[in-house]
C-alpha cells in the first residue's frame, strides 16, 4: 500500500517510538498509584514527556502540560471548561468538528459564536476578526491550519489581535504540531491543543493541551488522581486538575520518543521533504485533465496536503478506485470540516485528500500521478 493519508494519522512511526511503547508495555505501572518501581517508572516517563512537550512548544512549565487522548478531548476540555452563558466566541469556517460541535453544544447553553469566512482559496482575513468582534467576545478559538486545504493561519498576528483586545487565544494545532515550529509565548497562545498521532509521529490515544499560567478551566472529568483522596472535589493544581483516571503511560512513552526523534531530525528538514513531495504531486496533478485542486498554493507556508476532485465524480468513488486498483490510500468525503466544504462548494461531492509524510518517496508520488491520469482518461 502507498499511504497518502498522513493528515488523518501517520502510519509509519520512527523505530524508537515503536520500541518505547513495547518497553513501556512490559515495565510501566500506574503513575501516582504507588511507591514501587513500576509506578515510579511511569511517574518518571510521564514527567519527562511533560518537560519535552513544554520545551518543544515553548510552554510555561512542565506542570502546565495536560495529557488527553487526542485533540478532540483537549478542545472539549478547553471550550467547555472556559465559556459560560453570555460569552461570545470567535472562530473560523476552517474548523474541524472538534471545535464546531462543542461550540454548537454550548450555543444551547447561551454561549454565542461567530465564524470568520474564507475566500475561494480557503483563506481568512484578519479584518473579519475585527468586524465580528462583540463587546462580550471572550476568546478566539481557531485552527493553525485547515485539515482540508492545508492552508495556514497567521496565528502570531491573530494572537496579537486577541491580546490587544483582552481575549483568550485557543489554538488547535492538530495539523501543524510536528510540521511547523510553535512558540506559545511568541505567538500569544493561551491554550494549545494537540494530538500525538499525526505529525508528532506518536501513538494513537495520545494528545494534550498546554495552558498558560493564570487560566482557570473547569474539569471535563473528575475522579481518581492518586493524590488528595479525601478531597471531595478534583484537586485544583495543574495538571491533576484536568487529568482524571489512569493516564496512557504506554502511549506517552511513545510520544516522548517521538518528540525526541523530531528534535534530533529537525522539523525543518522533515517539513522540507514533505513539502517537496507535495509540490511534485501538485505540479503533476494540476496538468491532468479534469483535476481540480483546492486551497492556496501561491505560498510555500502550508501543510503538505493536496485536496482535489476528478471531474464530477464523487470523491469516495475516486478514493475507492485509487485503493482497489492501485493500492493508494487517500481520504475522501467531508473530513469533519463541514463549513470549509460549504465555502468551497464541495458539500455534495466531497474532496479527495492526499497528505504526505517524509517517509513517502518520489516513486510513490509518480505512481499516484500515473494512477490519477489513468482514471481521468477512462
pLDDT (tens digit per residue) in 271-303 = 999 999 999 999 999 999 999 999 999 999 999
Domain with CATH 3.90.1150.10 in the chain: 266-377
CATH code, 15-265: 3.40.640.10
Domain with CATH 3.40.640.10 in the chain: 15-265
* pLDDT of residue 221 exceeding 90: yes
pLDDT of residue 227: 84
> Among candidates 149, 99, 110, 135, which has minimal Cα distance to 298?
149
Count the neighbouring beta carbons within 10 Å of the beta carbon of residue 88. Answer: 18
* pLDDT of residue 348 exceeding 90: yes
Place of cell 483522596: 229
Query: Whole-angstrom Cα distance, residue 276 to residue 13?
Result: 20
pLDDT tens per residue, range 70-122: 999 999 999 999 999 999 999 999 999 999 999 999 999 999 999 999 999 99
* Ordered alpha helix ranges (H), the chain: 15-25, 37-56, 71-82, 97-107, 126-132, 155-164, 249-265, 267-285, 315-326, 338-344, 362-377
Q: Which three cell numbers stand for residue 289?
A: 485533465
Count the neighbouring beta carbons within 10 Å of the beta carbon of residue 245. Answer: 11
Query: Whole-angstrom Cα distance, residue 257 to residue 271?
Result: 19
CB contact at 8 A, 308 and 278: no
CATH code, 266-377: 3.90.1150.10
Q: pLDDT-based confidence at 32, cuts 50/70/90?
A: confident
> Among candidates 90, 96, 106, which has minimal Cα distance to 145?
96
pLDDT of residue 34: 87
> What is the DSSP-derived secondary structure letter of residue 236?
S
In percent, the amount of the chain with pLDDT more than 90 equals: 96
pLDDT of residue 345: 97
pLDDT tens per residue, range 146-175: 999 999 999 999 999 999 999 999 999 999
Q: pLDDT-based confidence at 59, cuts 50/70/90?
A: very high
> How are beta strands 305-310 and 291-293 bridged, if at all?
antiparallel
Please provide the distance, in angstroms rounded to a whole number, between the alpha carbons at the two ends of the chain.
23
Query: Whole-angstrom Cα distance, residue 69 to residue 347?
Result: 29
- How wide is the angle at C-alpha 256 spanned by C-alphas 252 and 257, nearest 5°? 120
CA of residue 45 relative to chain centroid, distance = 23
Mapping DSSP to helix (H, G, I), strand (E, B) and coil, where does residue 291 land? strand
Q: What is the mean pLDDT of the chain?
A: 97
Amino acid at each position: 500500500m502507498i499511504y497518502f493519508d498522513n493528515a488523518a494519522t501517520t502510519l509509519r512511526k520512527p523505530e524508537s517510538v515503536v520500541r518505547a511503547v513495547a518497553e513501556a508495555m512490559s515495565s510501566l505501572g500506574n503513575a501516582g498509584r504507588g511507591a514501587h518501581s513500576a509506578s515510579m517508572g511511569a511517574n518518571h516517563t510521564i514527567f519527562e514527556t511533560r518537560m519535552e512537550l513544554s520545551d518543544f512548544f515553548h510552554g510555561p512549565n512542565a506542570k502546565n502540560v495536560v495529557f488527553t487522548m487526542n485533540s478532540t478531548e483537549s478542545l472539549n476540555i478547553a471550550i467547555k471548561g472556559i465559556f459560560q452563558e453570555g460569552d461570545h466566541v470567535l472562530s473560523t469556517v476552517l474548523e474541524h468538528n472538534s471545535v464546531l460541535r462543542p461550540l454548537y453544544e454550548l450555543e444551547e447553553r447561551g454561549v454565542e459564536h461567530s465564524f470568520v469566512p474564507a475566500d475561494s482559496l480557503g483563506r481568512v482575513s484578519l479584518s473579519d476578526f475585527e468586524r465580528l468582534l462583540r463587546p462580550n467576545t471572550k476568546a478566539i478559538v481557531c485552527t493553525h491550519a485547515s485539515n482540508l486545504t492545508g492552508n495556514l493561519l497567521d496565528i502570531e498576528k491573530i494572537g496579537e489581535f486577541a491580546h490587544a483586545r483582552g481575549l483568550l487565544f485557543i489554538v488547535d494545532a492538530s495539523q501543524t504540531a510536528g510540521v511547523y515550529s510553535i512558540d506559545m509565548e511568541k505567538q500569544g497562545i493561551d491554550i494549545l491543543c494537540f494530538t500525538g498521532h499525526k505529525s508528532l509521529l506518536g501513538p494513537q490515544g495520545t494528545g494534550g493541551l498546554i495552558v498558560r499560567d493564570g487560566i482557570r478551566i473547569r474539569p471535563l472529568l473528575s475522579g481518581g488522581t492518586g493524590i488528595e483522596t479525601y478531597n471531595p472535589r478534583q484537586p485544583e493544581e495543574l495538571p491533576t486538575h484536568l487529568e482524571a483516571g489512569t493516564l496512557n503511560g504506554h502511549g506517552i512513552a511513545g510520544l516522548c520518543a517521538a518528540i525526541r526523534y523530531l528534535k534530533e531530525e529537525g522539523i525543518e528538514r522533515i517539513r522540507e521533504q514533505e513539502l517537496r513531495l507535495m509540490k511534485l504531486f501538485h505540479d503533476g496533478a494540476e496538468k491532468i485533465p479534469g483535476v481540480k485542486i483546492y486551497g492556496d498554493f501561491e505560498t510555500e507556508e502550508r501543510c503538505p496536503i493536496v485536496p482535489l476532485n476528478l471531474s464530477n465524480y464523487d470523491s469516495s468513488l475516486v478514493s475507492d478506485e485509487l485503493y482497489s486498483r492501485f493500492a493508494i490510500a487517500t481520504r475522501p468525503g467531508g473530513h469533519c470540516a463541514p463549513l470549509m466544504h460549504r465555502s468551497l462548494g464541495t458539500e455534495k461531492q466531497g474532496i479527495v485528500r492526499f497528505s504526505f509524510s517524509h517517509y513517502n518517496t518520489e516513486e510513490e508520488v509518480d505512481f499516484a500521478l500515473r494512477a490519477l491520469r489513468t482514471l481521468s482518461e477512462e
